[in-house]
Structure 1
Amino acid sequence: MQHSKLIFNGETKEWLFLLEGRQKSPFAPITNNLLRVPGKAGAYIQSSKTDVLYINQPVGFIVEDDVDALDKLDQLKSWLLTSEPVELQFPDEPDRVYYAKVEGDISDFARFGNQRRGTITFICPDPYAYGPERIYTFHLITSQ
Structure 2
Amino acid sequence: MNSFTFDSISKPYLTALKGSNRQPWAPIEWTYQDVPKRPGALPVQKNTRVRPLTIPVFLKSNSIEDLQKVKEDLAEWLIHDEPKPLIFDDESNRIYYAVVDGSFDPDEILKWGQGVIPFICPDPYKYGDEESLLLGDYPIRNEESVKQAHKRIDKIENKGEF
Normalising to structure 2: TM-score of the pair? 0.80
How far does the alpha carbon of each residue in 1:19-44 deviate from its partner, in whole angstroms, 9 at most, with x for none?
Answer: 11111111001111100123221001
Letter in 1 for 2:54: N
Identify the residue that residue 92 of structure 1 maps to in structure 2. Answer: 90
Identify the residue that residue 51 of structure 1 maps to in structure 2. Answer: 49
List gaps (5 residues or longer) in structure 1: none
Matched position secondary structure for 2:91: coil
Q: 2: distance between equivalents of 1:30 and 1:23?
A: 16
Q: 2: distance between equivalents of 1:51 and 1:3?
A: 28
Identify the residue that residue 120 of structure 2 maps to in structure 1. Answer: 123
Letter in 2 for 1:44: L
Q: 2: distance between equivalents of 1:51 and 1:125?
A: 8
Letter in 1 for 2:114: R
List gaps (5 residues or longer) in structure 2: 141-162
**RMSD over aligned Cα, in angstroms?**
1.9
Give the C-alpha shift of residue 138 in structure 1: 3.1
Q: 2: distance between equivalents of 1:133 and 1:46?
A: 33
Counterpart contact for 2:35–2:41, Cα < 8 Å: yes
Identify the residue that residue 81 of structure 2 maps to in structure 1. Answer: 83
Normalising to structure 1: TM-score of the pair? 0.89
- Which has the larger share of strand? 1
How far does the alpha carbon of each residue in 1:22-78 deviate from its partner, in whole angstroms, 9 at most, with x for none?
Answer: 111110011111001232210011111111111111001122223201110110010
Give the % identical residues. 33
Give the C-alpha shift of residue 141 in structure 1: 9.3
Identify the residue that residue 148 of structure 2 maps to in structure 1. Answer: none
Q: 1: distance between equivalents of 2:18 and 2:27?
A: 23
Letter in 2 for 1:131: G
1:61 maps onto 2:59 in alignment: yes
